[in-house]
Structure 1
Amino acid sequence: MSPTKIRNNVIKLSELSTKQPNYYFIQGYLMGLGALPQLLPPSEWQPDLFGDINLQKESELKYLESLMALYNQSMDKVIQNELKMPAKCSLSKQDYRDSLKPNMPLPSYCKGVLQALKNIDKRMLDAGQKQSLNNLSSVLKAFSSEKAAAKEFGEFAQYNAQEYKRNYVYFMADAIFELRFSNDLTLSDDDEAEFNSTFLDEEPNEFDELLELVLANTELKALEPIQMLLDIMESGLITKQFIKDNTGHFWGLHETRPYMMLRAHRAKIHALHGYTQKAQSELEELLKLNPNDNQANRFLLMNCLIIEKQWDKLDALLADFDFQELHATASRALSAFVMHGDSKPANEYKKMLQQQNKHFTKILTGQEKLKEQQPPYFSPGSKEEVAVYLDSLGKQAWISVPASLFWLRKK
């Protein structure tokens, strides 16, 4: 059955129902069903979506067949990790509010997903599952109406809206993994007992306390206890075979997160002390383990690649994470400056940097100062966002490209 035929039949089915949802709401709802931890039979979700359906002719049964075909397509997309919204659910680049009028595709789709997610019994979720569900719901609610968007996006609304929309697939993927598949990857009782005896011994908090101490230290001397902890982990649960079997969704396993955190911290220490090649190799390995990059290891990796002048690898990384994040825009600006000099392509990225964060140029060129103590969070466009950029070797990356800071300051 062709996509056009399915669409037309599903729309006709909706017109025969009491709720009469539009087609984008239906698409969103069916994709939302794919995130549920339990399978919901059609006898339950069809009334939730349509209300009562008044089929009067036998020929109208084909409308139900088309609905089930669309449902099966949605489930296939979930399994294949094809989570992008329909093309019509776009966000205006001029004014995001133009895309959030009532009954437009984007808010309709998001409301559909939210409606499906109401079928989840939150009392049955663990902390990680609740967090992933809340993160996804926040994004969906932000795009459900102009009022909700204004409340969520704040001062830098247009930029924040674009970032939320661009990152939607990652929130959706994380929620689907946590809600549907994370329990399948948890340790068996025997493995959990081995893990606990290896790391916790008689004192329940000993490992956590040691981990916290190590992660707070960025001196080279911290590399020794990091290696010691990694050796213990790799001789127990996290074997070479375990890594091979779970590459691609490593961060989804809560038991492996200390391991990922330690390796990312080791990369940071190497980078801060000038060993950028070692840091680069480690970060590239971490991205293989966790391609969604929940740890944001790509930020430090971008600047390591710039310092090492590995422009082809940088371009490939930027293609994999095609976001308008400050780190990515700065990296593209430097790459364009190296390739083309003080040119139109480079200056377009420089202009984009100024639009994304008015403090960026002034802080990097010494015209503005940062507070010594930075809060553990930031909002896009703030000084704190620039501080996060600098903390991942941002200034060193610009210094490594001759004349780039003079070009950045040039009007």
Structure 2
Amino acid sequence: MKRKDKDKERLPIIQFMSAGSSGKRLTEKVMAEVGRVLEGREFSSVEEMNKFLEQVMTPEGKIPLSRERTPEEKAQDLIYDAWEMEDKKSRIRLAEQALELWPDCADAYVILAEDKAKSLEEAKEFYERGVRAGERSLGPETFEKQAGHFWGIIKTRPYMRARAGLARCLWKLGQRSEAIDHLQDMLRLNPGDNQGLRYELINWLLYEGRDKEARALLNSYKGDPTAFWLYSEALWLFRHEGPSNRANRALKEAMEENDFVPSYLLGKKKLPRHLPEAYVLGEESEAIVYADLALEVWRHTPGAREWLATSFFWFNLFPRLPLKNAGLK
């Protein structure tokens, strides 16, 4: 049973986008340009602001600056250019040029971590330098006054990207508690979670057996319609109640929203070498990304995959009926 086409939404997976990818990062470039030209101006309405932008915009759709760019802005513009480059060498070159202009350009370190680092340890060092650069660039006052609103402020995004990269490196290096701490604090800074960090965090918490914290996280984003959240909810219930009615209902709801997931979790389909840059709710692309994050958690939960296999069998046989079989109530 699939989500209706009219309800499908193409969602960018920001946490998996590489330095050279397009998409929402390039939208950020436009937002930054608009922010610069609007700097210091006041408008009585959105309509007045849009009219002003139409007047200053060139025929090519560009917005000219009314002042000289700062070294920080010039460096960030080089990063925007780097994101459009297809080859690593060009991205590395532009990132290094950006650092010459502005040593606290956090996004430059993100590019170096993704494209220049030869090992996880080296990538970690680049990300750590990016985080420190972001902290210096933003200053203590931003962390004090804007906590809860990060990412909505464009200037905070390079720091958030660097810190997310650092957390992933730490996780892969086995420094899991520290990795979890980073993501939890980032959700404090940006509870709206534009980066989709909760989808990694929920699996990290479950993998580490920190189920109480996982429950709190699930409750914080209750109503999330993605496979990431629905299958995580079902798995959490199974870990605590076994194949209970609540767990079965949750799993059935998850399979109704995306029935591609079980095939990947059960090994009937192999995950591709490269993850998709974007996914569609209810479609195979979403299942691939979720399974890549959650496979180890399902494997390490005793009986979970057996429960999933039996439930999936009955779901396919009687999709409109409650899950019932020898092992389920």
In the other structure, the counterpart of 1:301 is: 201
Q: Which amino acid aligns with 1:299?
A: Y
Does structure 2 retain, via aligned residues, the 8 Å contact 1:370–1:383?
no
Q: Which amino acid aligns with 2:168?
A: K
Give the Å deviation of 1:325: 1.5
Larger Cα Rg: Structure 1 or Structure 2? 1
**1:238 is the counterpart of 2:167:** no
In the other structure, the counterpart of 2:111 is: 212
**1:373 is the counterpart of 2:287:** no
Does structure 1 retain, via aligned residues, the 8 Å contact 2:103–2:133?
no
Instruction: State the alpha-carbon separation in 1 of the partners of residues 310 and 172 from structure 2.
Output: 28
Instruction: State the alpha-carbon separation in 2 of the partners of residues 245 and 209 from structure 1.
Output: 26
Instruction: State the alpha-carbon separation in 2 of the partners of residues 300 and 275 from structure 1.
Output: 15
1:408/1:309 CA distance change after superposition, 3 Å: same
| CA displacement, residues 39-98 of structure 1 (integer Å, 9 cap, x when unaligned) | 45xxxxxxxxxxxxxxxxxxxxxxxxxxxxxxxxxxxxxxxxxxxxxxxxxxxxxxxxxx
Does structure 2 retain, via aligned residues, the 8 Å contact 1:276–1:307?
no
1:334/1:38 CA distance change after superposition, 3 Å: same
| CA displacement, residues 326-355 of structure 1 (integer Å, 9 cap, x when unaligned) | 111111111110111011111111111211
Give the Å deviation of 1:202: 4.7
**1:363 is the counterpart of 2:264:** yes
| Equivalent of 2:174 in 259, 264, 274 | 274
| Equivalent of 1:390 in 273, 291, 312 | 291
Give the Å deviation of 1:210: 4.4
Q: Which amino acid aligns with 2:226?
A: E
TM-score (norm 2): 0.62
| Equivalent of 1:254 in 128, 137, 154 | 154
| CA displacement, residues 353-387 of structure 1 (integer Å, 9 cap, x when unaligned) | 21111111111001122332333111112221122
In the other structure, the counterpart of 2:50 is: 121
Give the Å deviation of 1:206: 11
| CA displacement, residues 185-232 of structure 1 (integer Å, 9 cap, x when unaligned) | xxxx9xx84745998455589955543231456823311111122223
TM-score (norm 1): 0.51
Instruction: State the alpha-carbon separation in 2 of the partners of residues 399 and 227 from structure 1.
Output: 32
Instruction: State the alpha-carbon separation in 2 of the partners of residues 288 and 296 from structure 1.
Output: 13
Give the Å deviation of 1:245: 1.9
Instruction: State the alpha-carbon separation in 1 of the partners of residues 48 and 138 from structure 2.
Output: 36
Instruction: State the alpha-carbon separation in 1 of the partners of residues 195 and 111 from structure 2.
Output: 16
Does structure 1 retain, via aligned residues, the 8 Å contact 2:71–2:102?
no
Instruction: Flag the structure with more relative contact order, 1 or 2, with Cα contacts below 8 A and sequence separation at least 6.
Output: 2
| Bigger share in helix | 1
Q: Which ranges of structure 2 fall in alignment gaps of 5 or more residues?
A: 1-41, 55-66, 77-97, 312-329
Map of 1:346-361 to 2, 5 A cutoff? 346-361=247-262
**1:345 is the counterpart of 2:246:** yes
Map of 1:285-324 to 2, 5 A cutoff? 285-322=185-222, 323-324=224-225
In the other structure, the counterpart of 1:332 is: 233
Q: Which amino acid aligns with 1:256?
A: T
Q: Which amino acid aligns with 1:365?
A: L
In the other structure, the counterpart of 1:130 is: none
Choose 210-219 or 265-274, whichever is displaced more: 210-219
| CA displacement, residues 113-146 of structure 1 (integer Å, 9 cap, x when unaligned) | xxxx777626628xxxxxxxxxxxxxxxxxxxxx
Instruction: State the alpha-carbon separation in 1 of the partners of residues 296 and 52 from structure 2.
Output: 48
Does structure 2 retain, via aligned residues, the 8 Å contact 1:215–1:262?
no
